[in-house]
Amino acid sequence: MNVGQPGLGAGTERIRWPKDGGGASSKVVGFVVNPIAGMGGAVGLKGTDGRKVLDRAKALGAKAVAPARAESFLSELKPFEGTAKLLVGAGSMGEEEARNCGFAFKVLGGRREETSAEDTVEVAGRAADSGADLLVFCGGDGTARDVLSAVGTDVPVLGVPTGVKMHSAVFALGPRAAASMAVEFLRGALPLREAEVMDVDEEAFRNGRVSARLYGYALTPYEPCLAQGAKIASPATEDELRNQAAIATYVIEKMEDGTVYVIGPGTTTRAIGALLDADKTLLGVDVFLDGKLIAKDANERRILEEVEGKRARIVVTPIGGQGFIFGRGNQQISPEVIRKIGLDNIVVVSTRSKLVGLESLRVDTGDPGLDGALRGRRLRVITDYGIEREVRVE
C-alpha cells in the first residue's frame, strides 16, 4: 500500500493523514503501562487476565516484563523529549519508568499498589481529556481492549508489545519500532489507519481452544515496516492439513536419537505430536525425546531442566500474518532457553499458505542482544516433505 496517498486501502482498512499534518512541536503524548502484562508468558500461563491467574503466575516465579520494555521505548524516545509533553500513569503505570529514563512529565491519576483494567481505562481517558495527540500503551491484547474502551477513535493509539497475546494490529514490532513510529507520527510524517483490536478468551486459550473476537477498530499510526498486522489463522482446508502432515513426517524422520526437541505452539507443530501419537498442546510448548512426550505444556523452568546437559533443538512456526517465531505466544522459549540450546539449533516449519505474504521472519524476545544476533540470519524453513526455503530474519 502506498502510504503517501491518503484514502487508499482494501477492505475495512482506511488510511488517513492527521488534519494538521504539522511538526512535532507542542505535541502531547499519553503514556500508560500495564505493569503485569506478559508475566504469564515464561511460566506457561498464556496471559495474566484476572487476579487469580496473576497470583498463580507469581507463585510460579513470574517476573514483570512490561517495565523494562516500557523503559526501552522511552530510552529510544529520549533524544526527542523536547518535541512533546509526556503525560504518564501514576506509579508503576508509567511514572516510575519515565523517571528512570530522566523524562519531565505530568502524572495522571493516583498511585495504586495493585493495578487493574479499570486503572488503565482511567489513565487513558484522562490522557484523552488532556488533549493527547497520541496515546502509547505498554501491554497486550487485553490492555488494547481497555484503551479502546476509554478513547475509541478520538485519540490515535500505539501499542508497545509487552503481553503474551498480541493478535491485534495496533502494536509496533517492538519498543524501538514503537519509538520510531511515535516520533514520525508526531512530526506529521505518518498517516493513521483503522486497525483491529482483537482478544481471545484466556481460560479457553489455556485449555487449548482459540476463541478470538474482534472488539473494534482503533486509529493508529501506519508504517508497514514497523507495525505488526493482525494474526491470521491457518485455513482448515484439506490441502493445508496434507501440507502439515507432510512437514511433520519430514521433521520426525530427521529427528535424532538422544536429542531433546522443544516444540512450540501452532497447528503445524501440533501435527508433529499427532504423528508421534502424543497429545501435544495446540497453544503450549511441549518437550520430546526419542519420539516420546516428556514435558507437556512446559514453562521456561521445566524446559531448562529438560535440556540441561543434552543436545537439543527448538522447533517453531511463524505466526500467520505477522511472521514472529519468538516473542509472541511462546515466551516459555525464553532468551535463556534459546541461548542454551543454540542459535544453530532452531528449526522453523511453515505451511506454504502461511508463508504467502511473509517476506521475512521476525523476533521480539525482549533481549536486544539476542534479537540482534538473530536478525540478518537466513533460516531454513521446512515447507513440505523434503522441501526447505531460506527466509531472512528481520
Q: What is the DSSP string of 111-168?
A: --SS--HHHHHHHHHHHHHTT-SEEEEEE-HHHHHHHHHHHTTSS-EEEEE-SS---S
Regarding whether 154 and 252 lie in a shared domain, the answer is no
Regarding whether 169 and 37 lie in a shared domain, the answer is yes
What does the pLDDT read at residue 84?
85
Helix axes 175-186, 66-77, angle to 10 degrees: 40
The residues facing 315 across adjacent strands are: 263, 347
Dist. CA 191–CA 256, nearest whole Å? 51
In this model, does residue 275 exceed pLDDT 50?
Answer: yes
Q: What is the CA radius of gyration of the chain?
A: 21
* DSSP letters spanning 21-74: ---STTEEEEEEE-TTTTTTTTTT-S---SHHHHHHHHHTT----HHHHHHHHH
Regarding whether 175 and 122 lie in a shared domain, the answer is yes
Dist. CA 273–CA 270, nearest whole Å? 5
Residue 110's nearest CA partner among 98, 126, 97, 99 is 126
Cell 529438560 locates to: 306
In this model, does residue 349 exceed pLDDT 70?
Answer: yes
Domain boundary among 174, 189, 221: 221
- Name, of 160-164, 222-226, 295-299, the range with top average pLDDT: 295-299
What does the pLDDT read at residue 20?
52
- The three-class DSSP label of residue 229 is coil
Domain boundary among 189, 221, 253: 221
pLDDT digit string (tens) for 79-112?
A: 988 888 999 999 999 999 999 999 999 999 888 8
Mean pLDDT of 249-263: 97
Regarding whether 156 and 274 lie in a shared domain, the answer is no
- The three-class DSSP label of residue 84 is strand
**85 CB-side CA count, 13 A:** 12
Dist. CA 306–CA 312, nearest whole Å? 9
Q: Sorting pLDDT into bands at 50, 70 and 90, what band is 206?
A: very low
Cell of 371: 534479537
Regarding whether 35 and 86 lie in a shared domain, the answer is yes
Dist. CA 180–CA 169, nearest whole Å? 17
40 or 365, which is more confident = 365
2 belongs to a structural domain: no
The number of beta carbons lying within 10 Å of the beta carbon of residue 254 is 11
Q: Which residues contact 12 (CB under 8 A, 6 or more apart)?
A: 194, 217
Q: Sorting pLDDT into bands at 50, 70 and 90, what band is 41?
A: low
Residue 186's nearest CA partner among 251, 132, 234 is 132
Residue 322's nearest CA partner among 358, 348, 346 is 358
Regarding whether 59 and 120 lie in a shared domain, the answer is yes
227 belongs to a structural domain: no
Regarding whether 342 and 214 lie in a shared domain, the answer is no
Mean pLDDT of 299-324: 95
Mean pLDDT of 116-127: 95
Single-letter amino acid, residue 173: L
In this model, does residue 46 exceed pLDDT 60?
Answer: no
Task: Please give the mean pLDDT across all residues of the chain.
Answer: 87
Regarding whether 63 and 205 lie in a shared domain, the answer is yes
Q: What is the CATH number of the domain that holds 140?
A: 3.40.50
187 belongs to a structural domain: yes
Regarding whether 154 and 105 lie in a shared domain, the answer is yes
In this model, does residue 210 exceed pLDDT 60?
Answer: no
Regarding whether 184 and 140 lie in a shared domain, the answer is yes
Q: Which domain holds residue 253?
A: 238-392
Domain count, the chain: 2
Q: Are the C-beta atoms of 156 and 131 separated by less than 8 Å?
A: no
The residues facing 254 across adjacent strands are: none
228 belongs to a structural domain: no
Dist. CA 188–CA 24, nearest whole Å? 7
Pick from 7-11, 59-63, 193-197: least confident: 7-11
pTM exceeding the 0.85 threshold for the entire prediction: no
Q: Which residues contact 323 (CB under 8 A, 6 or more apart)?
A: 358, 360, 361, 362
In this model, does residue 346 exceed pLDDT 90?
Answer: yes
159 belongs to a structural domain: yes
Domain boundary among 188, 221, 254: 221
202 or 200, which is more confident = 200
9 belongs to a structural domain: no
Dist. CA 35–CA 393, nearest whole Å? 29
Q: Are the C-beta atoms of 220 and 227 separated by less than 8 Å?
A: yes
4 belongs to a structural domain: no
232 belongs to a structural domain: no
Regarding whether 387 and 258 lie in a shared domain, the answer is yes
Residue 91's nearest CA partner among 32, 163, 132, 134 is 32
What does the pLDDT read at residue 21?
47
What does the pLDDT read at residue 6?
31
Regarding whether 157 and 128 lie in a shared domain, the answer is yes
